């Protein structure tokens, strides 16, 4: 499955990427995040993050579709 992944804040610093396209066997955000955590050494755990698919908040078990845009949301701090 081909996915587009977008990174912000701590995750962007750690991965060194704003965005990337990945071919992955994972089928939901939770599996994907665990993969990425191994690759990039993300310190935040999934339970500290939110997730969005195609610019909408999603849940961690939602099944991916080809070319989905997946974004992990670290703890926010606007204002």
Partner 1 sequence: MFRVSSVDLEVTAELENLSNSRAGALVTFEGWVRNHHEGRDVLHLEYQAYEALCLSEAEILRAEVLSKHDIIDLACVHRVGHCPIGTKAVWVGVTAEHRGAAFDACEHYMDALKVRFPIWKKESYVDGDSEWVRCEACAEHEHTHGHH
Assign residue 59 a region: left if phi > 0, alpha if psi is -120 to 50, beta otherwise?
beta
Smallest distance from partner 1 to CB 12, Å: 7
Select 23 or 47, whichever has its Cβ closest to partner 1: 47
Select 9 or 46, whichever has its Cβ closest to partner 1: 9
Select 28 or 44, whichever has its Cβ closest to partner 1: 44
- Cβ within 8 Å of residue 71, ≥6 positions away: 5, 6, 7, 8, 51, 52, 53, 55
Which residues here bind partner 1, judged by CB under 8 A?
A: 6, 8-10, 12-13, 50, 52, 55-57, 71, 73-79
Tokens at 1, concatenated:
């499955």
Distance of CA 21 to the CA centre of its chain: 11
């Amino acid at each position: 499955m081909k996915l587009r992944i977008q990174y912000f804040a701590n995750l962007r610093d750690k991965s060194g990427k704003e965005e990337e396209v990945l071919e992955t066997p994972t089928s939901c955000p939770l599996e994907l995040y665990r993969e990425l955590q191994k690759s990039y050494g993300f310190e935040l755990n999934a339970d500290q993050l939110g997730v969005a698919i195609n610019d909408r908040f999603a849940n961690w078990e939602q099944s991916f579709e080809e070319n989905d845009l997946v974004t992990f949301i670290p703890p926010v701090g606007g204002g």
